[in-house]
């Protein structure tokens, strides 16, 4: 067998070996970024793109629709009355309006110092899209967080959002420096998707 014939036989063999080594010779499907209908893990919440994170949340909500229970009216009215009382008797140190990107959010948020206490107060016209495990948090970052939370440890979590609409009040840590807070964020802790942001710097 001539040298040229050996070379011609060896070339396809080398190509086949390379295809096998790099996986290009096998028909395979790309591993999905998330499993539809399931919650994301910590790594996925941090690394998925905005579009994938939003799609994962919508897929989960299709498989597990949110409960449509009506909030207790008396409890909600009491929360709204407490918020109005603080707003009527104190001057807010910080004021901002909510807006949303992929989700709807509106209304005013105000930060108050009331005696030895500090409070976050949402206005009567506050409203945000219903979502899974919505949290309300403060951010010290000067750049408003509008789409997703890459690192939840950068936030000061105030607690679970009690109502998706209407006036309400949340106590803040008494040692919190309100002038260091740049924005308030409502987000889904299960998917790190932002539902609304109110920036005090705008």
Q: Can you list the domains of the chain with their CATH numbers?
A: 1-29 (no CATH), 73-199 (2.60.40)
pLDDT at 195: 94
Please choose, from the candidates 144, 132, 154, the residue with its C-alpha nearest in 3D space to the C-alpha of residue 196.
144
CB 185 within 8 A of CB 137: yes
- The pTM is what? 0.79
pLDDT digits (tens, 9 = 90+) for 173-193: 999 999 999 999 999 999 999
pLDDT at 41: 92
Q: How far is CA 50 from the centre of its chain?
A: 10
Residue ranges in the chain whose pLDDT is less than 70: 1-32, 68-71, 150-151, 202
Please choose, from the candidates 71, 118, 128, 76, the residue with its C-alpha nearest in 3D space to the C-alpha of residue 97.
128
């Amino acid at each position: 067998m001539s040298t040229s014939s050996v070379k011609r036989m060896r070339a396809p063999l080398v190509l086949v070996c390379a295809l096998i080594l790099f996986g290009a010779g096998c028909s395979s499907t790309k591993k999905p970024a998330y499993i539809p209908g399931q919650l994301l893990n910590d790594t996925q919440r941090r690394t998925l793109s905005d579009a994938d994170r939003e799609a994962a949340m919508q897929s989960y909500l299709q498989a597990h629709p949110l409960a449509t229970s009506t909030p207790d009216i008396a409890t909600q009215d009491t929360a709204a009355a407490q918020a109005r009382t603080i707003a009527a008797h104190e001057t807010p140190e910080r004021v901002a309006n909510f807006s949303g990107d992929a989700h709807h959010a509106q209304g005013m948020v105000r930060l108050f110092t009331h005696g030895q206490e500090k409070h976050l107060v949402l206005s009567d016209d506050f409203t945000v899209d219903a979502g899974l495990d919505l949290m309300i948090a403060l951010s010290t970052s000067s750049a408003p967080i509008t789409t997703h939370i890459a690192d939840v440890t950068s936030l000061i979590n105030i607690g679970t959002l009690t109502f998706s609409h209407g006036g309400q009040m949340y106590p803040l840590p008494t040692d919190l420096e309100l002038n260091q807070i740049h924005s308030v964020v409502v987000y889904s802790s299960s998917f790190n998707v932002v539902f609304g942001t109110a920036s005090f710097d705008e």
